[in-house]
Amino acid sequence: MKELFKNVFKSNLVKQSGTTFILRSFGFFLGYLFIILVSRLYGADAVGVFSLTTTVLLMFTIIGKMGTDTAIVKYISKFLVAQNHNAVKGLYQTVLKLIFTSGISLSLILFFCADPIALYVFKKPQLTLPFRISAFALLPMMLRFVNSEVYRGYGMIAVYAYAQHVSYFLYALILLGAGSLFFNNEHLPIIAYTAGLILLTISGTWLVKKRILSKASHVVNEISVKQLLQTSLPMMLSSSLLLISGWLNTILLGIYANETEVGIFSVALKIATFTSFVLMSVNSVTGPRFATAFHNKDYKALRNHSIKAAQLNFYASLPVFVLIVVFNKFILSLFGNEFTTGSFILLILLAGQVINNFAGAVGTFMNMTGNEKIFQRIVLLCTVINCFLCIFLIPEYGMTGAAMASSFYMILWNVTTAIYIYRKYKIAMWFNPFAKII
């Protein structure tokens, strides 16, 4: 066991995942500060409005980017095996054409449909202006995801982590702090968030052209729009179902409860999600490795990457769980005394996150090994079940019902996918203290 522990933490996976985890944690800390500032300046209601607005924004974003951000990692990993930078440039340009077309169209829809969405879906007319402001953030949000995944595909893990997790909240926090000195406007949080995303998109696109596209001498279009969409759409459907199913709890809570309850639930969910940072950090590194190993039909390496990722995730995430469980009320109180009522909600959400962490990088494995359609079906089935749970539990039990549905959904799709991978590849994605590192 001692030798196993030593081997895992000496691996290159730890170094790269550790960098991502540190930056992701810093970004999460900045996000904490942003929400704390919003709650202190405007109260739990404002946190609820911000959470509902960004949830709707992210749902539009998932539809607009059509899974191209995930697909681009898979193709870049393939192209880099042959050092084909010209094909990468052609792929990036193809993705941008799709992104701009869908992004502008959806931005117009969100802007002009903000009023009916606020009135007839949420029955909260005060959400109209925040929705309209967020329409200007839609295209920048989509480009942020695509640019970040390009960095990831090239192994620029630190840059990827900064762009994906740190920069937009850093910019938003600075803009919110500075703006609050001169203005007292309840819409300032979403304005600062939108402006931060625009700044990130400008700097991120410049960096892609400077550091990556400059390696190409000319453009080679090896992947057509049809081929790209055949790969990306199943990935979009599985990833969007995962996210939308998670957001469904917040959306339905927004319909059946007030903004204060939405704000408390959103903060509890944000804290619980912190426990998955190790898993997401490991995923950011293992994704390209899974794709490369599968492309080369190196199943031994595929198994080895899976084992190392599972062991690292277990050892690094367990202390985080313990700390949050022990100090959950204190952590919630940082946002304001009214948030401590979410203590039980937080514990329920943590139960689902435990399984999410210890099941391993199952979603990344499926998407990077040609199993995206199977994964899509698993997630679709679990999403349908989650919808029924939300419909029955949230109107009756409010925040508690939302937390119960969220945790059950998290457990269901993780366990089902892990079992599928084991039966097909004989690879245990979950932690096994007796597994041998090859």
Note the pLDDT tens digit of each residue in 366-375.
877 878 778 8
- Packing angle of the helix pair 2-10, 299-326 (nearest 10 deg): 100
pLDDT band at 1 (very low <50, low <70, confident <90, very high): very low
The span from the CA of 277 to the CA of 432, in Å, is 20
Residue 135 has pLDDT above 90, yes or no: yes
The span from the CA of 251 to the CA of 244, in Å, is 9
Evaluate whether residue 370 is within a structural domain: yes
CA neighbours closer than 13 Å in the CB half-sphere of residue 184: 4
Report CA-CA distances (Å) from 231 to 149, 331, 373: 15, 41, 9
Supply the pLDDT for residue 270. Answer: 81
The span from the CA of 110 to the CA of 320, in Å, is 38
Phi, psi of 417, deg, nearest 5: -70, -40
Supply the pLDDT for residue 238. Answer: 62
Supply the pLDDT for residue 191. Answer: 92
The span from the CA of 212 to the CA of 92, in Å, is 10
Supply the pLDDT for residue 283. Answer: 64
Residue 266 has pLDDT above 50, yes or no: yes
- What is the enclosing helix (H) or strand (E) of 326? helix 299-326
Evaluate whether residue 431 is within a structural domain: no
Full domain range(s) for residue 334: 2-425
Residue 341 has pLDDT above 50, yes or no: yes
**Alpha-carbon torsion, ordered 150, 151, 155, 157, to 10 deg:** -140
The span from the CA of 339 to the CA of 423, in Å, is 43
* Site of tokens 């944000």: 270
Supply the pLDDT for residue 106. Answer: 95
Residue 276 has pLDDT above 80, yes or no: no
Evaluate whether residue 438 is within a structural domain: no
pLDDT band at 18 (very low <50, low <70, confident <90, very high): low
Supply the pLDDT for residue 435. Answer: 52
Reported as a single tens digit per residue, the pLDDT across 27-72 is 778 887 888 888 888 887 888 888 889 888 988 988 888 888 878 8
The verdict on pTM exceeding 0.85 is no
Supply the pLDDT for residue 282. Answer: 65
Structurally, the chain folds into a number of domains equal to: 1
pLDDT band at 134 (very low <50, low <70, confident <90, very high): very high
Report CA-CA distances (Å) from 274 to 152, 278, 321: 21, 8, 9
Residue 388 has pLDDT above 50, yes or no: yes
Report CA-CA distances (Å) from 37 to 33, 155, 189, 259, 262: 6, 34, 9, 17, 17
Evaluate whether residue 432 is within a structural domain: no
Supply the pLDDT for residue 347. Answer: 92
Mean pLDDT of 308-315: 76
pLDDT band at 433 (very low <50, low <70, confident <90, very high): low
Evaluate whether residue 18 is within a structural domain: yes
Q: What is the DSSP string of 170-212?
A: HHHHHHHHHHHHH---TTHHHHHHHHHHHHHHHHHHHHHHHHT
* Site of tokens 């749902």: 59
Residue 9 has pLDDT above 50, yes or no: no
The span from the CA of 247 to the CA of 115, in Å, is 20
Sequence letter at residue 39: S
pLDDT band at 2 (very low <50, low <70, confident <90, very high): very low
The SS3 assignment for 294 reads helix
Mean pLDDT of 199-222: 83
- Alpha-helical regions (H) of 122-187: 128-135, 138-153, 157-161, 167-182
pLDDT band at 192 (very low <50, low <70, confident <90, very high): very high
Mean pLDDT of 125-154: 89
Evaluate whether residue 414 is within a structural domain: yes
Supply the pLDDT for residue 139. Answer: 94
More confident residue, 302 or 139: 139
What is the DSSP-derived secondary structure letter of residue 37?
A: H
Sequence letter at residue 395: P
Reported as a single tens digit per residue, the pLDDT across 94-127 is 888 889 999 999 999 999 999 999 988 888 888 9
Evaluate whether residue 314 is within a structural domain: yes
* Contact predicate 166/32, CB 8 Å: no
Mean pLDDT of 315-323: 82
Mean pLDDT of 304-312: 77
Mean pLDDT of 277-287: 65
Evaluate whether residue 88 is within a structural domain: yes
Sequence letter at residue 238: S
Supply the pLDDT for residue 107. Answer: 95
Of the chain, the percentage scoring pLDDT greater than 70 comes to 88
| Mean pLDDT value across the chain | 81
Sequence letter at residue 223: I
Mean pLDDT of 419-425: 88
- How many Å from the N-terminal Cα to the C-terminal Cα in the chain? 14
Supply the pLDDT for residue 15. Answer: 54
The span from the CA of 361 to the CA of 383, in Å, is 19
